[in-house]
Structure 1
Amino acid sequence: MKRRLHSRKYLKEFRRALRKRMTPAEAYLWKHLKRRKLAGRRFNRQFSIENYIADFYCHQERLVIELDGQVHMNPTAQEKDRLRTVRLKELGYTVVRFENYMVFEHLSFVLEEIEEHFTSIK
Protein backbone atom coordinates (compact mmCIF):
# COMPACT_ATOMS: atom_id res chain seq x y z
CA MET A 1 0.00 0.00 0.00
CA LYS A 2 1.36 3.39 -0.99
CA ARG A 3 1.79 5.85 1.88
CA ARG A 4 0.23 9.24 1.50
CA LEU A 5 3.00 11.85 1.32
CA HIS A 6 0.97 15.08 1.17
CA SER A 7 -1.95 16.44 3.17
CA ARG A 8 -2.16 13.71 5.76
CA LYS A 9 -5.62 13.73 7.30
CA TYR A 10 -4.48 13.74 10.91
CA LEU A 11 -2.68 17.06 10.26
CA LYS A 12 -5.66 18.74 8.56
CA GLU A 13 -7.02 20.62 11.58
CA PHE A 14 -3.54 21.63 12.73
CA ARG A 15 -2.72 22.99 9.27
CA ARG A 16 -6.01 24.89 9.24
CA ALA A 17 -5.23 26.40 12.65
CA LEU A 18 -1.76 27.46 11.46
CA ARG A 19 -3.27 29.16 8.42
CA LYS A 20 -5.67 31.08 10.66
CA ARG A 21 -2.88 32.36 12.90
CA MET A 22 0.01 33.04 10.55
CA THR A 23 2.94 35.00 11.89
CA PRO A 24 3.23 38.59 10.65
CA ALA A 25 6.13 37.56 8.39
CA GLU A 26 4.12 34.66 6.91
CA ALA A 27 1.11 36.92 6.32
CA TYR A 28 3.27 39.55 4.62
CA LEU A 29 5.03 37.06 2.35
CA TRP A 30 1.72 35.35 1.58
CA LYS A 31 0.39 38.63 0.13
CA HIS A 32 3.16 38.38 -2.46
CA LEU A 33 2.81 34.65 -3.20
CA LYS A 34 -0.94 34.04 -3.29
CA ARG A 35 -2.99 34.05 -6.48
CA ARG A 36 0.05 33.22 -8.62
CA LYS A 37 1.59 36.66 -8.07
CA LEU A 38 5.17 35.39 -8.25
CA ALA A 39 6.02 34.36 -11.83
CA GLY A 40 2.65 32.65 -12.21
CA ARG A 41 3.51 29.94 -9.67
CA ARG A 42 0.83 28.57 -7.34
CA PHE A 43 1.80 28.37 -3.69
CA ASN A 44 0.07 26.66 -0.78
CA ARG A 45 0.55 27.74 2.80
CA GLN A 46 0.92 25.39 5.74
CA PHE A 47 1.19 22.38 3.44
CA SER A 48 2.10 18.99 4.88
CA ILE A 49 4.73 16.68 3.45
CA GLU A 50 5.06 13.48 5.44
CA ASN A 51 4.87 14.64 9.07
CA TYR A 52 6.24 18.10 8.34
CA ILE A 53 4.25 21.24 7.68
CA ALA A 54 5.90 23.65 5.27
CA ASP A 55 5.17 27.35 5.65
CA PHE A 56 4.81 27.63 1.86
CA TYR A 57 4.97 25.06 -0.91
CA CYS A 58 5.03 25.30 -4.71
CA HIS A 59 4.10 21.91 -6.19
CA GLN A 60 5.17 22.85 -9.73
CA GLU A 61 8.72 23.47 -8.52
CA ARG A 62 8.78 21.03 -5.55
CA LEU A 63 9.89 24.08 -3.58
CA VAL A 64 9.45 24.48 0.17
CA ILE A 65 9.84 27.92 1.74
CA GLU A 66 10.40 28.20 5.47
CA LEU A 67 10.38 31.37 7.56
CA ASP A 68 12.35 31.22 10.78
CA GLY A 69 11.57 33.38 13.79
CA GLN A 70 13.19 33.58 17.21
CA VAL A 71 12.11 30.06 18.19
CA HIS A 72 14.36 28.69 15.44
CA MET A 73 17.45 30.25 17.01
CA ASN A 74 17.85 27.73 19.83
CA PRO A 75 20.06 24.68 19.20
CA THR A 76 17.24 22.14 19.59
CA ALA A 77 15.06 23.87 17.00
CA GLN A 78 18.03 24.29 14.67
CA GLU A 79 18.73 20.56 14.82
CA LYS A 80 15.07 19.75 14.11
CA ASP A 81 15.16 22.18 11.17
CA ARG A 82 18.33 20.54 9.87
CA LEU A 83 16.83 17.03 10.05
CA ARG A 84 13.64 18.25 8.41
CA THR A 85 15.60 19.85 5.56
CA VAL A 86 17.65 16.68 5.07
CA ARG A 87 14.50 14.54 4.91
CA LEU A 88 12.71 16.88 2.50
CA LYS A 89 15.78 16.93 0.24
CA GLU A 90 15.85 13.10 0.32
CA LEU A 91 12.26 13.21 -0.96
CA GLY A 92 13.32 15.47 -3.83
CA TYR A 93 12.24 18.87 -2.53
CA THR A 94 14.24 22.09 -2.55
CA VAL A 95 14.11 23.90 0.79
CA VAL A 96 14.75 27.64 1.06
CA ARG A 97 14.90 29.29 4.48
CA PHE A 98 14.66 32.95 5.43
CA GLU A 99 14.66 34.66 8.78
CA ASN A 100 11.46 36.61 9.45
CA TYR A 101 13.16 39.99 9.42
CA MET A 102 14.30 39.37 5.82
CA VAL A 103 10.70 39.38 4.64
CA PHE A 104 10.13 42.84 6.10
CA GLU A 105 13.50 44.44 5.44
CA HIS A 106 14.56 42.79 2.17
CA LEU A 107 11.37 41.57 0.48
CA SER A 108 12.62 42.08 -3.08
CA PHE A 109 15.71 39.97 -2.29
CA VAL A 110 13.52 37.22 -0.77
CA LEU A 111 11.25 37.13 -3.83
CA GLU A 112 14.22 37.11 -6.22
CA GLU A 113 15.83 34.30 -4.23
CA ILE A 114 12.63 32.26 -4.46
CA GLU A 115 12.40 32.88 -8.22
CA GLU A 116 15.99 31.70 -8.68
CA HIS A 117 14.81 28.24 -7.61
CA PHE A 118 12.20 28.05 -10.36
CA THR A 119 13.25 25.53 -13.01
CA SER A 120 11.71 27.44 -15.90
CA ILE A 121 10.44 30.93 -16.48
CA LYS A 122 6.74 31.19 -17.30
Structure 2
Amino acid sequence: MSLPEVLLWQILRKQPGHIKFRRQHPIHRYVLDFYVPEWKLAIEIDGIAHDMGDRPERDDARDQWLASQGIRTLRIAAREVLADPAAVADGIVRFCTAR
Protein backbone atom coordinates (compact mmCIF):
# COMPACT_ATOMS: atom_id res chain seq x y z
CA MET A 1 0.00 0.00 0.00
CA SER A 2 1.13 3.52 -0.73
CA LEU A 3 1.40 6.13 2.03
CA PRO A 4 -1.95 7.76 1.13
CA GLU A 5 -3.61 4.34 1.18
CA VAL A 6 -2.10 3.54 4.59
CA LEU A 7 -3.24 6.87 6.03
CA LEU A 8 -6.76 6.37 4.72
CA TRP A 9 -6.89 2.73 5.87
CA GLN A 10 -6.04 3.79 9.44
CA ILE A 11 -9.40 5.59 9.42
CA LEU A 12 -11.52 3.29 7.23
CA ARG A 13 -10.63 0.13 9.12
CA LYS A 14 -12.53 1.51 12.12
CA GLN A 15 -15.71 1.27 10.00
CA PRO A 16 -16.82 4.91 10.15
CA GLY A 17 -20.56 5.24 9.63
CA HIS A 18 -20.78 1.50 10.32
CA ILE A 19 -19.55 0.86 6.78
CA LYS A 20 -17.33 -2.18 6.23
CA PHE A 21 -14.36 -1.43 4.00
CA ARG A 22 -12.02 -3.99 2.51
CA ARG A 23 -8.50 -3.10 1.43
CA GLN A 24 -6.53 -4.57 -1.45
CA HIS A 25 -9.64 -6.46 -2.53
CA PRO A 26 -9.10 -8.77 -5.53
CA ILE A 27 -11.78 -8.94 -8.20
CA HIS A 28 -11.24 -10.63 -11.54
CA ARG A 29 -7.74 -9.59 -12.64
CA TYR A 30 -7.75 -6.38 -10.61
CA VAL A 31 -6.89 -5.44 -7.04
CA LEU A 32 -8.99 -2.57 -5.71
CA ASP A 33 -7.41 -0.17 -3.22
CA PHE A 34 -10.61 -0.26 -1.14
CA TYR A 35 -13.98 -1.89 -1.66
CA VAL A 36 -17.37 -1.48 0.02
CA PRO A 37 -19.28 -4.70 -0.68
CA GLU A 38 -22.61 -3.35 0.64
CA TRP A 39 -22.57 -0.52 -1.91
CA LYS A 40 -20.57 -2.29 -4.66
CA LEU A 41 -18.16 0.64 -4.55
CA ALA A 42 -14.49 0.55 -5.54
CA ILE A 43 -12.32 3.34 -4.13
CA GLU A 44 -9.09 4.05 -5.94
CA ILE A 45 -6.38 6.37 -4.66
CA ASP A 46 -4.65 7.86 -7.69
CA GLY A 47 -1.09 9.12 -7.48
CA ILE A 48 0.81 10.93 -10.22
CA ALA A 49 1.49 7.64 -12.06
CA HIS A 50 -2.19 7.48 -12.99
CA ASP A 51 -1.66 10.48 -15.29
CA MET A 52 1.30 9.02 -17.18
CA GLY A 53 1.70 6.89 -20.30
CA ASP A 54 -1.17 4.57 -21.07
CA ARG A 55 -2.34 4.53 -17.46
CA PRO A 56 -5.39 6.79 -18.02
CA GLU A 57 -6.63 4.41 -20.75
CA ARG A 58 -5.98 1.37 -18.55
CA ASP A 59 -7.82 3.01 -15.62
CA ASP A 60 -10.75 3.82 -17.93
CA ALA A 61 -10.91 0.23 -19.21
CA ARG A 62 -10.80 -1.04 -15.62
CA ASP A 63 -13.58 1.35 -14.55
CA GLN A 64 -15.70 0.28 -17.52
CA TRP A 65 -15.23 -3.40 -16.68
CA LEU A 66 -16.11 -2.77 -13.04
CA ALA A 67 -19.20 -0.82 -14.12
CA SER A 68 -20.25 -3.77 -16.31
CA GLN A 69 -20.19 -5.82 -13.10
CA GLY A 70 -22.35 -3.27 -11.28
CA ILE A 71 -19.42 -1.78 -9.35
CA ARG A 72 -19.07 1.98 -9.23
CA THR A 73 -15.57 3.50 -8.97
CA LEU A 74 -14.73 6.51 -6.84
CA ARG A 75 -11.30 7.95 -7.71
CA ILE A 76 -9.53 10.19 -5.21
CA ALA A 77 -6.26 12.02 -5.79
CA ALA A 78 -3.47 10.88 -3.47
CA ARG A 79 -2.59 14.50 -2.75
CA GLU A 80 -6.07 15.01 -1.25
CA VAL A 81 -5.53 12.08 1.10
CA LEU A 82 -2.08 13.34 2.09
CA ALA A 83 -3.49 16.81 2.79
CA ASP A 84 -6.37 15.64 5.01
CA PRO A 85 -7.09 11.91 5.31
CA ALA A 86 -9.92 12.49 7.82
CA ALA A 87 -11.75 14.82 5.44
CA VAL A 88 -11.38 12.31 2.60
CA ALA A 89 -12.70 9.49 4.80
CA ASP A 90 -15.62 11.68 5.85
CA GLY A 91 -16.36 12.42 2.20
CA ILE A 92 -16.34 8.70 1.38
CA VAL A 93 -18.76 7.97 4.21
CA ARG A 94 -21.05 10.81 3.07
CA PHE A 95 -20.87 9.48 -0.50
CA CYS A 96 -21.87 5.99 0.67
CA THR A 97 -24.72 7.09 2.93
CA ALA A 98 -26.15 9.49 0.32
CA ARG A 99 -26.75 6.61 -2.10
Structure holding more strand per residue: 2
- 2:30 equivalent to 1:30: no
Partner amino acid, structure 2, of 1:110:
V
Identity %: 29
What is the alpha-carbon root mean square deviation over aligned residues?
1.8
Match of 1:85 among 60, 63, 71: 63
* TM-score, normalization by structure 1: 0.73
Match of 1:72 among 18, 25, 50: 50
With CA pairs under 8 Å and 6+ residues apart, which has the higher RCO, 1 or 2?
A: 2
Decide whether aligned partners of structure 1 residues 35 and 109 sit closer, same or farther in structure 2, where only a CA change above 3 A counts: closer
What is the alpha-carbon distance in structure 2 between the residues aligned to residue 83 and residue 117 of structure 1? 23
Match of 1:115 among 88, 93, 98: 93
CA contact (8 A) 2:8 2:86 kept: no
1:48-96 deviations in whole A, cap 9, x for unaligned? Answer: 1111110000111111100011211114001000110111011001110
Q: Secondary structure at the match of 2:39?
A: coil
Offset, 1:114: 1.4
Unaligned runs of 5+ in 2: none
CA contact (8 A) 1:61 1:119 kept: no
Match of 2:19 in 1: 41
1:23-65 deviations in whole A, cap 9, x for unaligned? Answer: 10000000110031x2111111110111111000011111110
